[in-house]
Amino acid sequence: MYISCEKELRSIYSIQEGLHGKSVVATRDIPPQTILMRASGELLTFEATRFLGEQEAYTVQVAVNKYILCRPPFRFVNHSCNPNAALDADLFLYSLRLIKSGEEITWDYSSSMLERSWTMNCTCGAPHCRKLITDFDLLPVEIQQRYIRNGWVMPFILRALGK
């Protein structure tokens, strides 16, 4: 896997303001399997996330009862049902395929969700958009199987589901 240096990272994408809020967009072609950034921030319990107000939208689940309140740029990486990036077990976001300059960087929030709490209507526009962002185990079985086969699912979910 190719790992960019910090200086280089800042030049391969930028945070952009759009109609639906901020997004992270590639500013040059990014090869497959490139580490893009790491999800990092304050570690919180599920209970604590309930007190965040609007900031709750910036949390990502990393274990059964652990959440990170993500710092930028990761907090601005949007969901897609057909993502071009994924989180690995160490919370690094990496490209799944060639991401063209000007293309938005996205990942699938469901690959890190098993909580029976938050859901969101999806308007990602992908041909097979699932219309609802929800827990991993509620996705169609063939999608679950493909994600598990490709290693795109957070380890805490695999453990919880006995996979």
ω into 83 cis (within 30 of 0): no
Beta strands (DSSP E) in the chain are 2-3, 13-18, 21-26, 34-38, 41-44, 59-63, 66-70, 78-79, 85-87, 92-95, 106-107, 120-121, 132-133
Which residues from 1-60 bind Zn ion, rule CB under 5 A? none
Closest approach, Cβ 143 to Zn ion, in A, equals 12
Under rule CB under 5 A, residue 129 binds Zn ion: yes
Counting beta carbons within 10 angstroms of the beta carbon of residue 31, is it exposed (0 to 12), middle (13 to 18) or buried (19 or more)?
exposed
Under rule CB under 5 A, residue 122 binds Zn ion: yes
Residue number with CB closer to Zn ion (81 or 85): 81
Site residue total, Zn ion (CB under 5 A) = 4
Under rule CB under 5 A, residue 81 binds Zn ion: yes
Closest approach, Cβ 3 to Zn ion, in A, equals 29
Residue span binding Zn ion (CB under 5 A) among the ranges 13-21, 41-49, 51-59, 76-84: 76-84
Both tokens of 119, joined, read 């859901």
**Which residues of the chain form contacts with Zn ion (CB under 5 A)?**
81, 122, 124, 129
